[in-house]
Amino acid sequence: MASDLPMSPHLEQIHGEIRDHFRALANGFQRLDKIKDSSRQSKQLEELADKMRECKRLVKEFDRELKDGEARNSPEVNMQLNDEKQSMIKELNSYVALRKTYLNTLGNKKVELFDTGAGVSGEPTAEETVQMASSMSNQELVDAGMKRMDETDQAIERSKQVVHQTIEVGTQTASTLKGQTDQMGRVVNDLDTIQFSIKKASQLVKEIGRQLPINA
């Protein structure tokens, strides 16, 4: 699909490099299943992590180039290119989740995915999680990682909805406060007018009093 998309030469070059890295990552994880020595597995995972970091840099560069060329493309092409970018981000995240799972199987506690005290809650223990991951194929591990990312995306969307609702309530409150402030301003102006009228009336009464004869 992606090869059929109209891309600038630079964008196409970046896209090709990303796809090359994805192929290397897929092959690297397949080789992991054949490596029995834990130290060699750790080294392989570090090499895969380097490729993921380079992929992340390239995806960001792809995104910048995409935004720079938006004005030259039709809305439909921009939508297709953005869909391709999101697809690459999702694929990269699946490899990140897969690496975390392998780290877990190696007993690396830098990434704690589950609580070890599972007797009461019913959640699997760390040992059970390792056994479960060890029995899964690469595709099953990828699917598990994709499911975790979907759940995270849904949580983010719910948070965004709360933020939007909060902003909306704040906007309504600000509008109400502005109306009340304007109303108070009009009341103050009316009071100033009344005070001025009272002062004028007082001066007029004093003036009339001075003009009246003393023995009147």
Per-residue pLDDT of 158-211, as tens digits, reads 767 776 676 777 677 667 667 776 776 776 676 677 676 677 767 776 776 676
Q: Percentage of the chain with pLDDT > 90?
A: 28
Instruction: Give the model's pLDDT for residue 95.
Output: 93
> Is 131 a residue whose pLDDT tops 60?
no
Instruction: Give the model's pLDDT for residue 121.
Output: 42
Contact (CB, 8 A) for 26 and 92: no
Contact (CB, 8 A) for 103 and 56: no
Q: Count Cβ atoms within 10 A of the Cβ of residue 102 and give its class: 0-12 exposed, 13-18 middle, 19 or more buried.
A: buried
- Give the Cα separation of 108 and 150 in Å (integer): 25
Contact (CB, 8 A) for 2 and 85: no
Span 146-150, average pLDDT? 68
Span 63-77, average pLDDT? 89
> Is 1 a residue whose pLDDT tops 50?
no
Contact (CB, 8 A) for 126 and 114: yes
> Which one has a higher pLDDT value, 141 or 81?
81
What confidence tens digit (pLDDT) does each residue in 19-31 have?
A: 999 999 999 999 8
Instruction: Give the model's pLDDT for residue 138.
Output: 62
Count Cβ neighbours within 10 Å for each residue of 126-161 and write b for 16 or more, e otherwise.
Answer: beebbeebeeeeeeebbebbbebbeeeeeeeeeeee
pLDDT grade for 50, boundaries at 50, 70 and 90: very high
Instruction: Give the model's pLDDT for residue 118.
Output: 40
Instruction: Give the model's pLDDT for residue 144.
Output: 64
> Which one has a higher pLDDT value, 121 or 215?
215
Domain ranges (residues) in the chain: 2-135
How far apart, in Å, are the Cα atoms of 49 and each of 40, 52, 133? 14, 5, 19
- Give the Cα separation of 178 and 7 in Å (integer): 50
Span 47-70, average pLDDT? 93
> Is 145 a residue whose pLDDT tops 50?
yes
Q: What is the pTM of this model?
A: 0.47
Distance separating the N- and C-terminal Cα atoms of the chain: 110
What confidence tens digit (pLDDT) does each residue in 94-130 have?
A: 999 999 988 888 764 333 333 344 443 444 454 445 5
